[in-house]
Structure 1
Amino acid sequence: MVPGSFRGVAFDLDGTLLRSDHSVSPEMRSLCSALTGRGLLLTLISSRPPRSVEQIADSLELQGPWAALNGAVVFSSGRRILDRSPLPEATVEQILARYGRDERVSLNLYAGFDWIVQAADRRVRAEADIVGFAPTVDAGFASRPVTEKLLMITDEGHCDNARLAKELAALDDGIAVARSKDNYIEMTRSRIDKGRALAFIAERRGLSAREMVAVGDGENDIPMLKACGLPIAMGHSPQALKQVAELVVGSNDDSSLTDALSRIFGAAAAR
């Protein structure tokens, strides 16, 4: 790893840039400030909704662009949407009709900067605590707009999560299904993923994806790590992600990622 070989970093958020309490460590904040001060591109590419990504980007004083909803929405400061890829409307209707009344799951609909649910149940409330804002409640999704992502949340440890993900993927080859957590099943338009988002963002800044380092910890990060020049996986990542990584670091609660990036970019993080 030669300092100066890469022009920026793309971060996944939960389990990667963010610690378990959903905060950014002081050391990582210092490093991000040092790298942006050198003109490097630091971007966020997350499954989180745009409003949540925006909050974190603003707190780190990042210039963007950034990607939300697994890459289905790419946006910049001022909530200017640069690229959006809605799901096939017929497939959305099919999923809502099939699972909308299933108490084993909580369905979440994302449209631009809007997050819509049928009811603020315990799973939805837990997600709201994580992302930092509450959704709009619309029983039956009566006023549903064009949708970029559906999120299905089940209970943790639910034994049928893998089967359910396969079942959803089989509904329509026009959608991509990925799990960002064991109990989070995310649906976006086919061929819309974090790898595509990384390429789009890099190009907007006059770079290629191969000039970027990318870091993640979930199945949905695999396309992003495959697209970048230096893929890094967190130590708790699934084996499928570790297999595409060139470097595996430790926990999001220790300094291993900060230390690795400091070595890669020849920057010292403040302690």
Structure 2
Amino acid sequence: MSKIKLVTLDIDDTLLDDNQIISEANMKAIHQAIDLGVKVVLCSGRTHTGMKEYLDKLGINGNDQYIITNGGSIIESVAGDIIYKKTLSNKTYREIDAFIQKNELHYNVVDVLGNTFTSNNDFIDPYTIIQAFENGKGLFIRTPDQLPENFEITKAIINENKIKLDSIEDSVNQRFGQNYYIVRTGDGFLEIMPKNIDKGSALASLADFLKIDISETMAIGDGENDIPMLKKAGISIAMGNSKMKIKNMVDFVTSNNNESGVAEAFSKYVLN
């Protein structure tokens, strides 16, 4: 029986190679872990729908398997039963929208059902279009005033090129950082999420729900938004394609996402 009972696993640039494919080696290692009774939990900024293709390919399904979506805002069973969620109110959406309009930025927000919304109507950035397509829930052009007072979002994502995001990141943190969790999830993506919500807090909550000691958990990731779960997990694994900052803080650096680094990590810590 594996000492590791729960693995949280990032998707993009971790589980998937650069062609968005799960390698045969990664697939085999995950299947073997599940056969041993290990909970393998996809943990991503994606929505449930955005994960479904990969869950199906891995054969992870049912009410006794789990996913962490929207960067940690929602913990749910693969069957869709929500165990935990924390959202941002329409009031917060208004505050974010006002900041966006004032600074002439592009962004989108995601609700608890995975629908994508933006109030931008002059130009819809490509990431927003891609995200709406991946979520399979449609893209809605709405201002906060056009939505119900009880409308909730899981996060807001500012989408700009790297140079522009670099120039406004400090001002976003100054405006929202005290009350919300701000994380750069890529060169062109800056996310605003509920305070104290991240992949690490979601890992701890799910482990507690499953009555698994945190020392019996493992996390694998490559990006800035993976840092909280890498810090929280009993064993932390950075992908070979991670930045040096992340490699320097983990227990083990595995091969990169094009070399089945996930399978290597499973072989070393889960399947031994």
Amino acid at match of 1:146: E
Paired position in structure 2 for 1:92: 93
Identify which of 7, 21, 27 aligns with 2:19. Answer: 21
Output the CA distance in 2 between the equivalents of 1:206 and 1:150: 32
Q: Does the 8 Å contact 1:234/1:248 carry over to 2?
A: yes
| 1:40-189 paired onto structure 2 within 5 Å | 40-63=38-61, 64-100=65-101, 104-105=105-106, 107-118=107-118, 120-128=124-132, 131=134, 133=136, 135-141=138-144, 142-143=146-147, 145-155=151-161, 158-172=162-176, 173-189=178-194
Paired position in structure 1 for 2:8: 10
Output the CA distance in 1 between the equivalents of 2:223 and 2:4: 23
| 1:190-205 paired onto structure 2 within 5 Å | 190-205=195-210
Deviation (angstroms), 1:104: 4.6
Output the CA distance in 2 between the equivalents of 1:132 and 1:88: 21
Output the CA distance in 2 between the equivalents of 1:113 and 1:101: 28
Q: Does the 8 Å contact 1:210/1:227 carry over to 2?
A: no
Q: Where does the alignment leave 5 or more consecutive residues of structure 1 unmatched?
A: none
Q: Does the 8 Å contact 2:89/2:152 carry over to 1?
A: no
Distance 1:98 1:229, change over 3 A: same
Identify which of 36, 39, 42 aligns with 1:38. Answer: 36
Name which of structure 1's ranges 228-237 and 218-227 shifts more when overlaid on structure 2: 228-237
Partner of 2:116, secondary structure, is strand
Output the CA distance in 1 between the equivalents of 2:72 and 2:16: 19
Deviation (angstroms), 1:89: 4.1
Output the CA distance in 1 between the equivalents of 2:82 and 2:3: 30
Q: Where does the alignment leave 5 or more consecutive residues of structure 2 unmatched?
A: none
Output the CA distance in 2 between the equivalents of 1:31 and 1:133: 29
Q: Does the 8 Å contact 2:182/2:193 carry over to 1?
A: yes
The reply on whether 1:207 has 2:205 as its aligned counterpart is: no
Aligned structure 1 segments of 4 or more residues deviating by more than 4 angstroms: 100-104
Q: Does the 8 Å contact 2:2/2:36 carry over to 1?
A: no
Deviations 1:18-48 (A, max 9, x none): 1112221121111111110110110011111
Output the CA distance in 1 between the equivalents of 2:104 and 2:216: 45
Amino acid at match of 2:116: I
For the aligned residue pairs, the C-alpha RMSD in angstroms reads 2.2
Of all paired residues, the percent bearing the same amino acid is: 23
Deviations 1:173-206 (A, max 9, x none): 1100101111111111111110011011122222
Q: Does the 8 Å contact 2:47/2:70 carry over to 1?
A: yes
Name which of structure 1's ranges 168-177 and 9-18 shifts more when overlaid on structure 2: 168-177
Q: Does the 8 Å contact 2:43/2:68 carry over to 1?
A: yes
Output the CA distance in 2 between the equivalents of 1:186 and 1:100: 16
Amino acid at match of 1:205: L
Q: Does the 8 Å contact 2:255/2:264 carry over to 1?
A: no
Deviation (angstroms), 1:101: 7.4
Amino acid at match of 1:87: L
Q: Does the 8 Å contact 1:10/1:43 carry over to 2?
A: yes
Amino acid at match of 1:125: I
For these two proteins, the number of residue pairs brought into alignment is 261
Partner of 1:52, secondary structure, is helix
Q: Does the 8 Å contact 2:2/2:38 carry over to 1?
A: no
| 1:219-258 paired onto structure 2 within 5 Å | 219-258=224-263
